[in-house]
Structure 1
Amino acid sequence: MSLDVSDEVEYEALPTNAGLGVNMLAGALAGITEHAVMFPVDMIKTRMQVFATSPSAVYTGIGNAFTRISATEGARALWRGVSSVILGAGPAHAVHFGTYEAVKELTGGNRAGNHWASTSLAGAAATIASDALMNPFDVIKQRMQVHKSEFRSVFTCASTIYRNEGLSAFYVSYPTTLMMSVPFTAVQFTVYEQLKRLMNPTGEYSPLAHVVSGGLAGGVAAGVTTPLDVAKTLLQTKGGSSDPEIRRCRGIVDACRIILLRDGVRGFARGMSPRVLTHMPSNALSWLSYEFFKALIRE
């Protein structure tokens, strides 16, 4: 079903709070779309952030990584682990957007005027809830993405991690993930809402406003939180590392110390380019998909 002029009028006439079910379903569809489309760039980001022991796993940039991975491992390697993201992204994004809209409504963010505190709080609450669900899937995804990964199946990877490292391995990075994701989401939602109001003050259904606002918001948030993402990747992939010091890493303090000692301050910027490149179009696509699916489901 396409959205014509009459659909836009109907969209505008609906209340801002569309209902929890609509928001959660729209969020799930948006999340799956976003992650699946941008997965190869996310894979390159993971490879660039890992402290590799083999020279063949050291990449100088996005183009270099893409060419070498495709040439030595085949193009399919760029999609290794995508099934984990698809399994987790739908439910996690459903919880994310559902929580966001519910908290924003509860704290008065849907009333007329500028309510940046409400959107920031709603974004942070949404992240805490969704990351609790998504973190294990993210660990599995990154274990499958690393250079020379032995895993080709989500379930084999999950069972091996559980058998060798226990349940805690799926959540060892959760505190770091929250330290990264709460400010990421708060910045993202705040920038998105402000830009959307600036570009579309009438509040009409505007795909262009959603795309531009979502893309810029994602890029800003990704750049600001990259240092914590580097630490998160180290924690999530440490179980597959042959480096004893990395395997002994227990939390964000140990991770940051290792990064600083081995690569200096610049180490915290590892993978920033593909991270920003991933989040700008993926966030633009996510918000466009979310607003579109929300309007479509309402219709």
Structure 2
Amino acid sequence: MDTHDDDYEALPDSPVHVNMLAGALAGITEHALMHPMDAIKTRMQVISTNPNLIYSSISNAVQRISTAEGASALWRGVTSVVLGAGPAHALSFAVYEHFKIVLGADQDGNRVLESAIAGACATIAHDGLMTPFDVIKQRMQLVSGSHFSTTLACAQQIARSEGIAAFYVSYPTTLAMNIPFHMIHFSSYEYFKKALNPEGRYDPMSHCVAGGLAGGLAAAVTTPLDVIKTLLQTRAVSDDAGVRRVAGFKEAWDLVLKREGVKGLFRGLQPRVLTNVAATSISWTTYEFLKVILGQSQRKPFPVVA
């Protein structure tokens, strides 16, 4: 094995700040690039009494939103998600790398359970930081969010009209969704990465493919919980009286089943899966690349000035 491979194999023990910086940059890149598709997913998941706000497909949503509101509408809320994604992903990847080592998920063989537990720990840390930013993002992604000039204005309006608790009303549901999502995501990524790259060398293609497969699988399985999360985060601005009266997870679940049946729990499945396939491919490829670059820079001695 050459020097480059030796360096890469040593990276799981790289300093925590290297993992955090790589994770932050990977998270920002992922969310910023995939924001328009995420906006479409949010629109498709929202229950509305207005037929003009019901979208049948991705292409239908893009055409109608662009025509009625302009293409820039698909980018509303991106500032909030970027502000939150940096610190949230930094913490998430640092916690994940730490528990990979503690639990032995970085050892030889397919350590699916250990990777899943490490992913669950990372999720709890990530969502504690990210949920308020996600609430603001989803509010701004809706038609009603167009009157907010800035992320700060949206945050202030939510705090004034609904209280601070509104930023965390979906936190239990978010954890209920993201813990299984990331248990599937992280364990699948480690499994696919080892299957595609058994030598453990730095290989961007295997990271990209493994990330996409893991993200798409996790997204498909947890879509019903994402539908409920979106309903809870946007209920206060819904034009549907029934949605506005929803108080928690069970009521939201029952409402969706009553209105649309099981099919309603899979609103936005296509854009959610496509978003996560692309996002996790971008995130893992960026993260693994930055770990190499930042890890190598940490091991290079500083030049001595005579």
Give the TM-score, by structure 2 length. Answer: 0.93
Partner of 1:101: 97
From 191, 204, 214, the counterpart of 2:211:
214
2:292 is aligned with 1:295: yes
- Quick one: structure 1 residues 7 and 68, their matched pair in 2 at CA, closer, same or farther if it must change by over 3 Å? farther
Matches within 5 A, 1:46-65: 46-65=42-61
- From 65, 68, 72, the counterpart of 2:64: 68
Is 274-283 or 53-62 further displaced after alignment?
53-62
User: 1:92 touches 1:130 (CA, 8 Å); kept in 2?
Assistant: yes
Q: How does 1:174-193 map to 2 (within 5 A)?
A: 174-193=171-190
Contact 1:192 1:214 in 2 (8 A): yes
Does residue 1:196 correspond to 2:193, yes or no? Answer: yes
Q: Which residue of 2 aligns with 1:83?
A: 79
The structural deviation recorded for 1:114 is 2.5
Q: Post-superposition shift, 1:56? A: 1.2
Distance 2:59 2:3 in 1: 42
User: Given that residues 215 and 282 in structure 1 are in contact (C-alpha distance below 8 angstroms), is that contact kept between their aligned partners in structure 2?
Assistant: yes
Rounded to whole Å, the distance in 1 between the matches of 2:78 and 2:11 is 36
Contact 1:42 1:275 in 2 (8 A): yes
Q: Corresponding residue for 2:13?
A: 17
The alpha carbon displacement at 1:263 in A equals 1.0
Distance 1:118 1:63 in 2: 40
Q: CA deviation at 1:247?
A: 1.6
Q: 1:146 to 1:15 in 2, by over 3 A?
A: closer
The answer to whether 1:262 aligns with 2:259 is yes
What whole-Å deviation, never above 9, does each CA across 1:217-265 have from its counterpart, x for those lacking one? 0000000000000000000001112323212211110110110111111
1:128 paired residue among 124, 128, 134: 124
Matched residue type, 1:243: D
Match of 2:28? 32
Q: Matched residue pairs, number?
A: 295
Q: Are the counterparts in 1 of residues 91 and 125 from structure 2 also a CA contact under 8 Å?
A: yes
Shift of 1:115: 1.6
For residue 62 of structure 1, report the CA deviation from its aligned partner: 0.2
Offset, 1:110: 1.7
Give the stretch that moved more between structures: 6-15 or 102-111. 6-15
Whole-angstrom distance in 2 between the partners of 1:13 and 1:75: 44
Unmatched runs of 5 consecutive residues or more in structure 1: none
In structure 2, the residue corresponding to 1:109 is in which secondary structure? coil
Q: Which residue of 2 aligns with 1:241?
A: 238
| Alignment match, 2:300 | none
Of residues 282, 285, 289, the one that matches 2:282 is 285
Query: What secondary structure sits across from 1:201 in the alignment?
Result: coil
8 Å CA contact 2:12, 2:97 repeated in 1: no
Compute the displacement of 1:194 (Å). 0.5
Deviation at 1:25, TM superposition (A): 0.6
Deviations 1:135-162 (A, max 9, x none): 0000000000012323231101101101
Q: Comparing 11-20 with 178-187, which one deviates more in the overlay?
A: 11-20
Counterparts of 1:167-178 in structure 2, within 5 Å, are: 167-178=164-175
Structure 1 residues 74 and 250, CA gap change in structure 2 (3 angstroms): same
Q: Could you report, residue by residue, the CA deviation over 1:169-203 in whole angstroms, capped at 9, with x for unpaired residues? A: 00110000001000000001111100100110010
For the aligned residue pairs, the C-alpha RMSD in angstroms reads 1.4
Paired letter, 1:211: C
* 1:38/1:278 contact within 8 Å kept: yes
Distance 1:262 1:152 in 2: 34
Aligned to 1:159: 156
Q: 1:278 to 1:156 in 2, by over 3 A?
A: same
1:228 is aligned, of 213, 218, 225, to 225
Contact 1:17/1:110, CA 8 A, preserved across alignment? no
- Give runs of ≥4 in structure 1 deviating > 6 Å: none
1:273 to 267, 270, 274: 270
Letter in 2 for 1:285: I
Identity %: 53
Unaligned runs of 5+ in 2: 297-306
Q: Secondary structure at the match of 1:16?
A: helix
